[in-house]
Amino acid sequence: MSEDLSGRRIAHYRIDGVLGRGGMSVTYRATDVRLGRKVALKVIGEHLAPDAEFRERFVDEARNTSAIDHANIVPLYDFDEVDGLLYIAMRLVDGQDLSGHIKEGPLTPARTLSLLAQVAEALDMLHGKGLVHLDVKPANVLVTQKEGVREHVYVADFGLTRRGATGHRTRTGDFLGSPTYAAPEHLRGEPVDGRTDQYALACMLFACLSGRPPFQGGVQEVIAGHLGNAVPSLSQVVALPPAIDEVIRKGTSKDPAQRFASCAELIAAARVALAGVAQGSAPAQLGPQSGSFPAQSPVSGPMPAQQGQYQGGGYQQPLQDPVRLRPPNQVGVSAFTSGKKERPAWFAPVIAAVVAIVVIIVVVVILSPGDEPARQPKTSSAPSLNIGDEPTSRKPLPTSVPVRTTR
């Protein structure tokens, strides 16, 4: 668990308190002391700071959010790294996330259409730029009334957003996101596009009108439902016309080609299907489960879905672990390597050891005593005779030579 930074300063932000904690980051209520405004400051978890992949995702989120300008997407104010802490400063949304509203029970058709129409507009704009959100769920839809008379929606959390991507995995093979609202192609790691987000939006339509997600149970049960089962008939869960079943069935088709052309088209079809329904009251629940459906039943197992509601501003995230769907893959590059191949972990220690050995050898050579000088030969006062290049005997020449005379 990351340390609580409340009361500290990060750059020009004074941290006032925790808004929410997630598996990847902690979001704080903070004050920009330069401008005197309140912000939501999202700081990467200290235990993940050394992890190149999570840092890459965090940087991607900042880049993706800053590149999008839309009334229904949380505005990003600032992004930087200080003392090893990566942070994103964004608008502080004073409200509650959509999962908190669903927890209170099914929403009225009018309110459902009003909120999800704003989500659809934001998603279609995103898709028009070639991006896919990949984590559309009630917990990432923030609802506030401060924008005007009607409730205003902000789509948040662009940490998984990709361009021309396949269903997202970590480099160790872990699925990132909530399987509660994930499309089949996303779960299988196949190519994804705007229709992948549309599938999640159709599941959210089901959840808003029924007070529960379409598939419940353990992780594998939920995944199996998305991969192979049709979404339950909504008209058999709550008192709504059967026409809404066809809308949700098309929006959650296992074949992306069979879905609507856009998210806005999905909501328009739902508006037509619900035209004859009393818009101001929540649909009554049917069957033996009437009144007993959990507001937002979490997925049990290692990766829970939304748990509880946002507290104090719409940034409370569940602590969650990724769901492993396939064997680990080889680790690749990160956002901080400029596309260069990342060196293995043992590289630096081996180089350091080699350098240390070389230094030791050099020191030994320098400090060791020099060779002893060659012994000088004993000299004699008598001269010696050398013939040619080779020395001869060092015997002294005689001082007198006898002379023999002949007669």
- Joined together, the tokens standing for residue 181 give 């609202």
**Tokens standing for 400?**
């007198």
H-assigned helices in 164-241: 184-187, 194-210, 219-228
Burial 56-95 (b: 16+ CB within 10 A, else e): bbbbbbbebbbebebebbbebbbbebeeebbbbbbbbbeb
Give every CB contact of residue 279 below 8 A, 6+ residues apart in sequence: 108, 109, 110
Alpha carbon separation from 171 to 132, 326, 328 (Å, rounded): 19, 11, 7
Catalytic residues, which ones? 135
Q: Which one-letter amino acid corresponds to residue 136?
A: V
> Is 304 within 8 Å of 317 (Cβ atoms)?
no
Q: Is 38 annotated as a binding residue?
A: no
Helices 263-273 and 243-251 pack at an angle, to 10 degrees, of 170
Q: Which residue has the tokens 């459906």?
A: 293
Q: Which residues of 195-206 are buried (b: 16+ CB within 10 A; e: fewer)?
A: bbbbbbbbbbbb
The three-state DSSP-derived secondary structure of 51-86 is CHHHHHHHHHHHHHHHCCCCCCECCEEEEEEECCEE
In whole angstroms, give the CA distance from residue 239 to residue 247. 16
Q: Which residues neighbour 193 within 8 Å (Cβ) at sequence distance 6 or greater?
A: 127, 132, 256
Q: Which residue ranges make up the annotated binding site?
A: 42
Q: Which residue ranges make up the annotated binding site for ATP?
A: 42
